[in-house]
Amino acid sequence: MNKGLLKYLTTTVLRMVLLLIAATMLSFFLVHNAPMDPVDAFLGEVTVSEEQRAQIAERWGLNKSPAEQYLIWLGNTLRGDMGESRTYHEPVTKVLGERFRASLLLMGTAWILSGVLGVILGIVAGMYKGRWPDRIIKTFSLILASSPVFWIGLLVLMVFAVELQWFPLGLAVPIGKIESEVTWAERLHHLVLPALTLSITGIANIVLHTRQKLIDVLESEYVLFAKARGETLKQLITRHGLRNIALPAVTLQFASISELFGGSVLAERVFSYPGLGSTAVVAGMQADAPLLLGIALFSSLFVFFGNLTANILYGIIDPQIREGGGIDG
């Protein structure tokens, strides 16, 4: 391992650690200062004595200072114990594992769809700049960019689930069916609408950036020279365009991972999809600090590794690019 690569890996790991600490500290601060009392949220309509409330607070460590609570949680997390969810009464790691499988399928499908469709539509729009395909795709993308996820989700739900009745109204599996008996075809059937909604929201930026980058490439001097030599539009796209639009496309695609988390919260609520997004909403409503901190930690790791993958791919797509001079051949 050369010094440049070692330096890059060391810097990357250090940034990841600082990012995770900052994310958990911010999340803990927000949860601790939330107006909802966790004991009240846990009890609901149940009335108990002050002594019983104090016992519940002591069991959860709420009688300690915020700094002590955070350090205790951090120490336990480093040992692999993220605590118990006050909402689901199960270990946080188990809740995250179950919900993440559903979210990974949803976000992964939406991520691939938005990337593939975004690049294809962006190339078509760039090839036909100023003509009707370009105008239609650009208008469509601008409308999507300004439309909130929940509105698109409700629209898709009304058209395809209510009016046409092609897909179920929500959930990840059929109602009343044991999970072990659910087939992959049924899971995919329930996945289509939320994945479509989530992917639509991520397409616009990729389309518009890919379109503009391809237009810049096609109007550059070396492409004009290649055109003068007799190269067709198809040859210009494959020989010059794809390589130059690949880097910004990869950048936007991996940067959209963080947006997927935010979009999945709304999409999962609209379609009652049991993933991390809907779990985060429930945990927030119940002031479930251990689960909220676990989701914050998990999502930060997920986004960080997405960005790290993008940095690694930069060097593969364009060897001249180096992360701070860290990845040298």
pLDDT digits (tens, 9 = 90+) for 269-306: 888 888 888 888 888 877 788 888 888 888 888 777 77
pLDDT of residue 135: 92
Q: Name the packing angle between helices 92-127 and 276-285 (round to 10°).
A: 130
CATH second-level architecture of 92-285? Orthogonal Bundle (1.10)
The burial class, CB within 10 Å (0-12 / 13-18 / 19+), for 271 is: buried
The confidence band for 2, taking pLDDT boundaries of 50, 70 and 90, is low
The confidence band for 244, taking pLDDT boundaries of 50, 70 and 90, is confident
Q: What percent of the chain has pLDDT over 70?
A: 89
Please tell me the least confidently modeled range out of 35-49, 165-179, 214-228, 259-273. Answer: 35-49
Tokens representing residue 324 in the block: 């701070």
302 touches 296 (CB < 8 A): no
**Bridge partner residues of 84 (DSSP):** 91
Please tell me the least confidently modeled range out of 22-31, 107-116, 127-136, 302-311. Answer: 302-311
**Bridge partner residues of 91 (DSSP):** 84
Q: What percent of the chain has pLDDT over 90?
A: 2
pLDDT of residue 316: 60
Averaged pLDDT, 14-40 = 79
Cα four-point dihedral sign 27, 30, 33, 37: negative
User: Which tops the pLDDT comparison, 249 or 124?
Assistant: 124
Name the amino acid, one letter, at 65: S
The enclosing H or E element of 225 equals: helix 221-228
Please tell me the least confidently modeled range out of 32-46, 54-68, 113-127. Answer: 32-46
